[in-house]
Structure 1
């Protein structure tokens, strides 16, 4: 009885081999991609067999499946490429040269945060239809950090501010040169481009000579304040300094003029003293 079952299984396996060999499949080159805001990415899936007539037998469709309603990114049907999504207009293309190598690849340029999501690569030939899902994550590093220093109303303290934009949100850690940490007031807002604007502040003494550093820990980006060297002058101090400099220039110019005048006058008198007197005959 057992022998009969074994023989039946072998016969079934042999009979299924041709159909298994002919099974059409699609495989993703990578299941996920991490890319940078403003950059570009190439995502691809490989199909198991080359179509007999690539001009007519091949259909490739890429969808973005989890950004609200299903969005068709790009399609190729009967060798005609089209994109119906205004979101990707001018930023996406199908790498048609790769089709002859059984690759369905797309390139998305000028990446946006909202391009993140699950993409479906669907390939259809006369041998069948299959698809694979690929995840794309778009991030933005906090590279550019702007600094600002403001005096408090009392004048004995200053508010240090660090501001940057990136994605996703980054914690901000403040430390002084002794690596002592400070509690900060940090706020976040979303920009129209989908970036996270992070503003972080601490209040410190304006007289203690030290340095403070804000660290955006997501990307290990930082900015440093040197206190009191970086503190801007009080309002009006610049005007006073300008007045003092102008007075100094006027006094210097006046003194120089007096010196030059006296030298010229002394030279004139010396010439008169060294000149021999001449007799002048006067006719009456």
Structure 2
């Protein structure tokens, strides 16, 4: 009989991973969805604060988030080992750090001369082991409304309602139109209506003025969340007047 003790290996002891507290913190605040007019510039904030516990190499990464979560995001700008690296993308040359040295706690960027195709969600990620934090901002680029074209329809009969039309031929939908009387302080006629009910949809707003005030000058202002434009349409209650086209 073999009484030799078993020569098996001593038991091993695996330590649990050390709990890590993300001391690094991005301190930028503000809206995470912003709307900007085409051709304007925008600054996206990404300031951060480091703590003594963060001892690794500083790594800053800006990327365009892929709406398909199964696909990779697109890295467009980084700061690593004291150097900035811009990667090939449609924003190259227009997407830059606002500071020469972003390691001083400011990884904010500026996007210049915005295009409609720049509409995206951007992520700033800052890492310095063991700390890591990130911030996302969605930028929507819209076309600012163009000065509208306005005109007046008259039946030619006295004491008849007059309909004013206005349309802006350029501007990201949907546009909101606001009518105001600008020739004096009386405001719109009390029973005037806009977007006449019971009529099929039209690509421009209509304003039907009643017979309370014989004349006046009105302005229609198309607006979007990136700006407002103005145009003018005038009307008068005089018999036998043909339709008049008034351009803003």
TM-score range, shorter chain: 0.5 to 0.7
The 1-side partners of 2:202 and 2:67 are apart by: 27
- Bigger RCO of structures 1 and 2 (CA < 8 A, at least 6 apart): 2
Q: What is the CA-CA distance between 1:130 and the residue it aligns to?
A: 1.7
The 2-side partners of 1:161 and 1:142 are apart by: 20
What SS is found at the alignment partner of 1:135? Answer: strand
- When the two structures are superposed, what TM-score results if normalisation uses the length of structure 1? 0.52
Is 1:182 aligned with 2:188?
Answer: no
Higher-Rg structure is 1
Q: What is the CA-CA distance between 1:59 and the residue it aligns to?
A: 2.4
User: In the alignment, which residue of structure 2 is the partner of 1:281?
Assistant: none
What SS is found at the alignment partner of 1:134? Answer: strand
RMSD of the TM alignment (CA)? 4.3
The 2-side partners of 1:113 and 1:26 are apart by: 32
- When the two structures are superposed, what TM-score results if normalisation uses the length of structure 2? 0.58
User: In the alignment, which residue of structure 2 is the partner of 1:226?
Assistant: 234
Relative to its length, the structure with more helix (as a share) is 1
What SS is found at the alignment partner of 1:97? Answer: coil
Q: What is the CA-CA distance between 1:209 and the residue it aligns to?
A: 3.1
Q: What is the CA-CA distance between 1:80 and the residue it aligns to?
A: 3.9
Would you say how many aligned residue pairs link Structure 1 and Structure 2? 198
- Mapping 1:72-151, distance limit 5 Å: 72-78=75-81, 79-86=83-90, 88-125=91-128, 127-128=129-130, 130-138=132-140, 144-149=146-151
CA contact (8 A) 1:35 1:41 kept: no
Q: Deviations over 1:135-156 (max 9, x none)?
A: 234465866432332657x666
User: In the alignment, which residue of structure 2 is the partner of 1:61?
Assistant: 61
The 1-side partners of 2:166 and 2:147 are apart by: 6
The 2-side partners of 1:31 and 1:179 are apart by: 41
Q: Deviations over 1:91-130 (max 9, x none)?
A: 11123424241221211112245544432211233x2352
The 1-side partners of 2:118 and 2:219 are apart by: 33
Task: Choose which of 174, 195, 199 in structure 2 pairs with 1:169.
Answer: 174
Relative to structure 1, the CA distance from residue 217 to residue 97 in structure 2 (aligned partners, 3 Å threshold; closer, same or farther) is closer
Which range is displaced more, 77-86 or 172-181?
172-181
The 2-side partners of 1:148 and 1:168 are apart by: 18
